[in-house]
């Protein structure tokens, strides 16, 4: 990759970049939940929350349930769905 450039600008200073093969990427992602942009059903299903005692927002922020969802996306999604962030995740 002669002449290729890669740059990251992260004011919060906790980001990282890694160049991984498909095999290493799959290994790296084993502990994470579904990707909401790649999943057939939008990333989460009711059974993902079955028996969960946690609040829905905490479940959305849990990267082992659904990866890549941060505070802003969780808030906006719950607002649009008219679900209170403090609601229990289990009945959803």
Residue 25 confidence (pLDDT): 87
User: pLDDT tens, 17-42?
Assistant: 788 898 998 898 888 888 877 766 55
User: pLDDT tens, 65-88?
Assistant: 888 889 999 999 999 999 999 988
25 DSSP 8-state letter? H
Q: Tell me how crowded residue 60 is: count the other CB atoms within 10 A of its CB.
A: 27
Residue 3 confidence (pLDDT): 67
pTM exceeds cut of 0.85: no
CA distance 4 to 2: 6
């Amino acid at each position: 990759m002669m002449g290729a450039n890669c740059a990251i600008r992260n004011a919060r200073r906790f980001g990282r970049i890694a160049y991984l093969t498909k095999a290493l990427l799959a290994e790296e992602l084993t502990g994470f939940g579904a990707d909401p942009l790649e999943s057939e059903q939008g990333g989460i299903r009711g059974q993902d929350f079955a028996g969960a005692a946690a609040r829905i927002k905490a479940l959305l922020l849990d990267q082992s349930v659904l990866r890549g969802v941060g505070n802003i996306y969780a808030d906006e999604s719950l607002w649009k769905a008219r679900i209170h962030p403090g609601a229990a995740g289990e009945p959803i």
